[in-house]
Amino acid sequence: MIFDRMENGDYEQIVYCYDKTSGLKSIIVIHDTTLGPALGGCRMWDYKSEEEALRDVMRLAKGMTYKNAAAGINLGGGKSVIIGDPRKDKSEALFRAFGRFVESLNGRYITAEDVGTKTEDLDIVYQETNYVVGISESYGSSGNPSPVTAYGVYKSMLRTAKEAFGEESLKDKTIAIQGCGNVAYYLCKYLKEEGARLIVTDILEEAIQKFVDEFGAERVDVDQIYEVEADIFCPCALGGILNDNTIPKLKVKAICGSANNQLEDIERHGQMLEERGIIYAPDFIVNAGGAINVADELSGYNRERALSKAGNLYNQIGLVFEIAKRDKITTAKAANRMAEERIAAIKEIHTSFLKNEHNVYTRRK
């Protein structure tokens, strides 16, 4: 069955990694390496089943192919998951064991952070492999990608507001934020400065409290976030949250957030949003700042350059809105089209033989 799923989604490689002593159970998925080695973070989550973990990592890996392609990054798409509770199951041995499996792929997969993993975890991974980005700045790396991701989300939200409300200001706009984590935190700094009103939720009480205290945000229960009266819904937690149950509840004019894979079904739920007159800013365009930031490391990290490229997501989102209107398709489809066209074009120029094939990884200083 797994080969059927790989064939249907055009996946290159799935690697199951197990280490008895550390208890590591991890899945690394390489979706597509047309543009270069597969880049994507490592998520640590307490999945209820192996199937749930596999489904998540396959969706995330494919999303990275599209994200990197649309953002103009010369890298393919991959992702990994570690099955376990990030609050209880982390250890040095676990992350070193994971690092050894990443190393065994010899550069076909480059890991980074995602939900449940942090810069300090990746510093441990770095003990075993060079194929890791977003480690501590003291190693000459780019550090935590979340501030740059948040900047890209903020710029994308300005462009989305222009599309939805006719002006790019977020002043006095109400933003409903799902997930009070890393990206949401840095994003809220911008939103607060703009004079937006914030409504937040999280499954963790302490995470919410920080946003209430620091940003004066209003809190709601986890399920209420879909029903609040707001201008923009900003998903910053996990994926699959725009679905048959939630879309009919939404009372917003636009959606723009950092979470990966927000639409449970790209075709159907993209269409449902369109029919409800809700402007959807496709997730993998909006949240590409993180990938842009860590990918920049591979050519000798420069913060200003990374921020400037993340800021350009304002224009990228604008382009997606234009393509959607021009081709009379949903914004979700327009974003996919943009990525697919770039991959197809680059594949074409890769047909001729080059002795020293240019490898982006070797450019790292």
Ligand X SMILES: NC(=O)C1=CN([C@@H]2O[C@H](COP(=O)(O)OP(=O)(O)OC[C@H]3O[C@@H](n4cnc5c(N)ncnc54)[C@H](O)[C@@H]3O)[C@@H](O)[C@H]2O)C=CC1
259 binds ligand AKG (CB under 6 A): no
336 binds ligand X (CB under 6 A): no
- Note the helical H segments in the chain: 2-9, 50-70, 92-104, 119-125, 146-165, 182-194, 205-215, 266-275, 283-286, 289-296, 303-311, 313-327, 331-349
Total number of residues binding ligand AKG (CB under 6 A)? Answer: 14
Total number of residues binding ligand X (CB under 6 A)? Answer: 26
- The Cα-based distances of 23 to 67, 95, 246, 283 in angstroms read 32, 10, 36, 33
Burial (CB < 10 A; 0-12, 13-18, 19+), residue 295, is buried
Any catalytic annotation for residue 79? yes
* CB-nearer residue toward ligand X: 33 or 260: 260
Contact map string, positions 239 to 268, toward ligand X, x by CB under 6 A? -------------------xxx--------
117 binds ligand X (CB under 6 A): no
On the CB side of 43, CA atoms within 13 Å amount to 26
Is 300 annotated as contributing to ligand binding? no
Contact map string, positions 141 to 170, toward ligand X, x by CB under 6 A? ----xx--x---------------------
Q: Are 340 and 323 in contact (CB under 8 A)?
A: no
297 binds ligand X (CB under 6 A): no
Q: What is the DSSP string of 140-156?
A: TS---SHHHHHHHHHHH
Looking at beta carbons, which residue is closest to ligand X?
Answer: 181
Stretch that binds ligand AKG, among 82-90, 106-114, 240-248, 264-272 (CB under 6 A): 106-114
Is 334 annotated as contributing to ligand binding? no
Neighbours of 244 (CB within 10 A): 11
Is 243 annotated as contributing to ligand binding? no
Burial (CB < 10 A; 0-12, 13-18, 19+), residue 363, is exposed
What residues does 279 pair with on adjacent strands?
254
Stretch that binds ligand AKG, among 25-33, 154-162, 201-209, 289-297 (CB under 6 A): 289-297
Q: How far is the CB of 313 from ligand AKG (least distance, A)?
A: 12
Stretch that binds ligand AKG, among 107-115, 179-187, 248-256, 352-360 (CB under 6 A): 107-115
Q: Are 135 and 119 in contact (CB under 8 A)?
A: yes
296 binds ligand AKG (CB under 6 A): no
- Angle (CA) 213 219 224, round 5°: 165
Annotated binding-site ranges for NAD(+): 179-184
Binding site for ligand AKG (CB under 6 A): 40-41, 67, 112-114, 134, 145, 149, 260, 287, 290-291, 294
Binding site for ligand X (CB under 6 A): 114-115, 145-146, 149, 178-184, 201-204, 207, 222, 236-238, 258-260, 287, 290
> Which residue numbers are catalytic?
79
Annotated binding-site ranges: 179-184
